[in-house]
Amino acid sequence: MDENIVPDVVISRLPWYLQTLKQIADEGMQTVSSSLLAEKLGSTATQIRRDLSNFGGFGKQGRGYTIDNLIEELENILNMDRIWPMIIVGAGDLGRALARYQGFQNQGLKVAMLFDNAPDVVGTLVGKLRVKHVDSMREEVKSNRIKIAIITVPANSAQEIADLLVEAGIQAILNYAPVTLVVQSSVRVQHIDPTLHLQRMLYYLDEY
């Protein structure tokens, strides 16, 4: 698979398609048309067909998509045919909530380790994980060949943590710190910041 062929924006929509297909499958359906899928997604049939055509299409003209088949294909494209271990750095409220989060199950993702540097936090149990000290993080990432990290540390230490993680071999970072991380272009970063998401909507609100 050559990542230069398919635009990032198409790849970014695939997990969303996959999630919705799984919901439709749970409702007991076996096939779905691109127009029904579009309706569920708030997207258009044309866009869905165009996106999927990057990978060969999958649909039969006039018959829609076989849901199980499309789910399997999307999971293969997204490298979800295995379970990727992840680390969480920062065992505060959010880090602990993510460590206990049930939503990663059956999604190709698993929280393998949780790190912090606070003496009263290191060594405590969060769900089934014992919080490790960040001093051991580099070695753990390297020896376990972990590729994915979730950063939930404060803004002023996030860049330092990111640099250390990338040096240790991390290739994908989900950043919850309210700061834009600067990393080499081979490393993927996704930024989740509730403040930014909320402010994007303020513009559209009616005045009091």
Residues in contact with its own copies by CB under 8 A are: 1, 3, 11-12, 14-16, 18-20, 23, 40-42, 77-80, 84, 86, 93-94, 96-98, 100-101, 103-104, 107-109, 145, 147-148, 150, 171-172, 174, 178-180, 182, 188, 190, 192-206, 208
Amino acid occupying residue 88:
I
Closer residue to its own copies (CB): 62 or 120 = 120
Interatomic CA distance for residues 114 and 130, integer angstroms: 7
Of the pair 117, 193, the CB lying nearest its own copies is at: 193
Supply the minimum distance, in Å, between the C-beta of residue 133 and its own copies. 22
Q: Closer to its own copies by CB, 125 or 198: give it.
A: 198
16 vs 60, beta carbon nearer its own copies: 16
**Angle, to 10 degrees, between the axis of helix 8-26 and the axis of helix 34-41?**
100
CB of 195 to its own copies, least distance (A): 5
d(CA 72, CA 80): 9
Q: Which phi and psi angles does 184 have, rounded to 5°? A: -65, 155
Residue 91 C-beta: closest distance to its own copies, Å: 12
Q: Which is nearer to its own copies, 32 or 80 (CB)?
A: 80
Smallest distance from its own copies to CB 186, Å: 9
Beta strands in the chain (DSSP E): 31-32, 65-66, 84-89, 109-116, 125-126, 129-130, 132-133, 148-151, 172-175, 188-191
Q: Which residues contact residue 81 at a Cβ distance below 8 angstroms, ignoring those fewer than 6 apart? A: 75, 108
